[in-house]
Each structure stands twice: as C-alpha cells, then as structure tokens.
Structure 1
C-alpha cells in the first residue's frame, strides 16, 4: 500500500482511492495473478471496535487493504483535512467482484448467515451470474477457531471467499485462517447476503447519494440504535482529539 495514498484514522489506515481504481488497479490484477488478498471495508463501528479490542485491531490491521465504508469515515477524514476520495461500500464492492468473477469464470465461496439466507443467496447468484462456479457455502454458526471449516473451504480451491459473519467474527476468521490458503481474495461482507437474498432491503439510491444510508437502516431496523450510538461516539472522539 502506497503510504502517500492513505489516510489514518484512530490507527486504522485507509486506502485513499476510488472504487473503480481500487478494482482495476489492485483487486482484479491480484485475482489474475492468483495473489492472496485480505480486504476490510471499514465503517466507524469497525474502527471503534478496533479501538476497544486489541486482538480485533490486529486482525483489521493485518489486511492488505482497508477501504472506507461509511459516511462517518469520510466526515472524519474531511474534518482532519485529509479528505478521502469516495466511500467504497462493501455491498457494492461485492457486486463488482461477482460481476468480475462471472466475466472470468472464477470460483466463489460463501461463508456466513443463516442456512435459509445463504441458500437464497446462492440461488440469486446462480441466476444473476451464471458463469460463476459456486465453490461451496456454509452457514455462519460455528466456532471461528474450528480449523476444519477453513480446511474444507481450501479443498474447494476458491478464487474469492465472501465472509458474512458480522463484526468482529468475519475479520477475525480471515486473519486467523487465510494463511492456510495458497490464493484467494477474502472479504468480510457483513449483512450483504441478507440483501442479495431479499431478506433486507437496501436504502434507495437517493438516500445513499446523500450519505444517509445509516439513517434509512435505523428507521427500518430501530434495534440498530445502539450501533448508531457508536458512530456518534466515533465522531465525538475525532472532534475532541482535534
């Protein structure tokens, strides 16, 4: 990672790049070379968790790339007078990778979520991206220290592993087990399987463009309120630190 093109927020170093350049200059070439990659799409919740949990912080910092997913990250960078070029949402990045995998006939593995969600996700992916080879799938209800899961995935020889175990388990699982693999792009995708499966509706485009996706999700899922409080705490700490 070129340090000239990064912005550090609370010890988490973000790549300062557009999504298009990130895909075409970094991820696609690495996939073509079968070079292993660990990608974190970090929002304020991830940064705050890393601040509070040293083990998790080490897992996040072990990533090859950390990109900004969340309006709060962009606001914090702007407040520091080190603006990031754009937000790179994990869900959109996943769709771009699926399209690339479809174009190149790559093998994708899907790890996480409930059985019914992951089954619906596979059906949708097969319909929308027919040239992808589904290397396999597994629900998210297992001990992340169980190495047999990683060994089983490795045996399927995936090019991309989408990990939907949520914060903090997905980054911890990748950091712990990706060294067992000779290749593969590993990325935590949070609740993206739920969106693809149709279980959760993503915010309308106008909300996303206004960086209000967090508010839309809060209105639809009021139980997320505690998570939103972490975003406000994040911004308060940025302001106070300055």
Structure 2
C-alpha cells in the first residue's frame, strides 16, 4: 500500500472506499489488525515523540484523518487522495458488520456512553451482534498502570465475548497506547482507536453539519462550540508553517 511520510509518521494514501475494502479483507483473515486515525494535531504531538511515532507506524492501517494532512501533502507534491476520518471508517465497519453478521465490542467513554452507543447501534444495525461494552475510566496501560487488575479483567471480558470488531474510544494518545500495549493478547479481527465516535453514536455529541465536513472545517465547528479548544487548534497553523518551510516534512 502506498503511503506518505509526514514528520516520520506513515500515512496510508487511501480513499474511504479503499479503506473499507481493506478492513473487509481484515475481517476475513486470522489475527488482530490495528487501525490508527491520526489527524494534524496527533501528527504534531507524535512528531517529536519516538514512542508515539512507532506505535502509529506499527499499525496495520493508518488513515489520514485531518484536512491539514491533505493540504500539506498537496503543498509538498505528495498528495494524499482524500481525508478519511475515523468516524466515517467506523460507520463503514458497522455497515459491513451488519451485512455479514459480525460482532462488536465497545470500549471507552464515560459510564453509560458505550451502553447507549450499543443500544443505538442495535436499532440501526440489527444484524450486528453486540458482544459487550465497558467505559474507558479504568486503570490500565493508557494511564501508566499496565497489567493492573481492572485492565486484565476487561481484556478477559473482551476475549470471552469473542468480538470481530473492537472500538476503543479513549482519545489520543491513550487509545493508541492501550491498543499497542495489549494487541498481542486480545482476540478479534479489527481494533480501531476512534476517539469521540462513541459519544456521537450514543447521542451525547453531534458531528459537525455536512457543509463543515465537506469543506474540511469540522475543527472550526468544534472551536465555535467549544472556544476553550483554541489552545489545541493552534497546532494547525504551526503544522502548515513547518510544511511550508521544511522540505523534508513530507516525503
């Protein structure tokens, strides 16, 4: 699979439809495949962090979930085909699971979020087998407590439920760390760190209106709704400056 390197982070050059076909193939294979969903903010955080770069690069599929990555790649004449969001690929996974009767485990969110997400999923995708769910507020690898008793109990719960697909919604970098540290002892076919997807599926949050999505301005919509995000959003202009003034930023 063709990829583009952004500050040393591998971004697979893939469309949503191509990613969908790829994960459909994963679901027919043995072993657990991991999916990372870096956006511009994640890339900027991982740029100077060797561990985060490594765990993202070791994922089986790394999708370009940030409009800044698309613009930056075009500026440096290494164009990524299109933005592929973790939310959109997660919905594709649900559609595939509904069609083929695959099972799903939901891990993440505050108490009750995963449960509500599961209930809503079952209404819209009745052929999915909901293997189980658990909130994301526990001590484990993502909080610096690897092999903590609660983490081991959750992994055992996941494995006993025999899921095909696992959604992990802790937010970056916790979900990436948790997946990387535990992937070798989790039974399943596909595991994806998909941030706030579960909050949207539960009805606790809303996605940006379609016009914002098409224009690549979901970040602006979130900023308008949550002005305190301004401290996080300053990474976007920083990223573009790095791209403009560093020839080696994107290869």
TM-score (norm 2): 0.91
Partner of 1:15: 12
Match of 1:53 among 45, 49, 61: 49
State how far apart, in whole Å, the 2-side matches of 1:191 and 1:37 are.
Answer: 21
Offset of 1:35 from its aligned partner?
A: 3.9
Offset of 1:214 from its aligned partner?
A: 0.8
Contact 2:163–2:187, Cα closer than 8 Å, also in 1: no
Offset of 1:13 from its aligned partner?
A: 1.1
Offset of 1:194 from its aligned partner?
A: 1.1
Partner of 2:132: 136
Give SS of 1:32's match: coil
> 5+ residue gaps in structure 1?
none
**CA-based RMSD:** 1.3
Partner of 2:74: 78
After TM superposition, the runs of 4+ consecutive aligned structure 1 residues lying more than 4 A away are none
Matched, 1:105 2:105: no
Instruction: Report the count of equivalent residues.
Output: 238
Match of 1:208 among 207, 213, 225: 213
Offset of 1:116 from its aligned partner?
A: 2.5
State how far apart, in whole Å, the 1-side matches of 2:124 and 2:189 are.
Answer: 22
Matched, 1:165 2:144: no
Partner of 1:127: 123
Offset of 1:22 from its aligned partner?
A: 1.7
Contact 2:26–2:189, Cα closer than 8 Å, also in 1: no
Partner of 1:155: 160
Partner of 1:237: 242
Partner of 2:87: 91
Partner of 2:203: 198
State how far apart, in whole Å, the 2-side matches of 1:119 and 1:22 are.
Answer: 27
TM-score (norm 1): 0.94
Deviation by residue 1:106-147 (Cα, 9 ceiling, x = unmatched):
110000000132222111111111111111111111122234
Q: Which stretch of structure 1 is more off in the superposition, 212-221 or 144-153?
A: 144-153
State how far apart, in whole Å, the 1-side matches of 2:12 and 2:57 are.
Answer: 12
State how far apart, in whole Å, the 1-side matches of 2:160 and 2:108 are.
Answer: 18
Give SS of 1:42's match: coil
Give SS of 2:167's match: strand
Q: Which stretch of structure 1 is more off in the superposition, 65-74 or 227-236?
A: 227-236
Equivalences for 1:174-193 in 2 at 5 Å?
A: 174-193=179-198
Offset of 1:182 from its aligned partner?
A: 4.2
Contact 1:49–1:57, Cα closer than 8 Å, also in 2: no
State how far apart, in whole Å, the 2-side matches of 1:68 and 1:196 are.
Answer: 21
State how far apart, in whole Å, the 2-side matches of 1:191 and 1:181 are.
Answer: 22
> 5+ residue gaps in structure 2?
141-145
Contact 2:29–2:189, Cα closer than 8 Å, also in 1: no
Contact 1:107–1:159, Cα closer than 8 Å, also in 2: yes
Deviation by residue 1:158-211 (Cα, 9 ceiling, x = unmatched):
101100000100010110101113432010010111111222111111111111
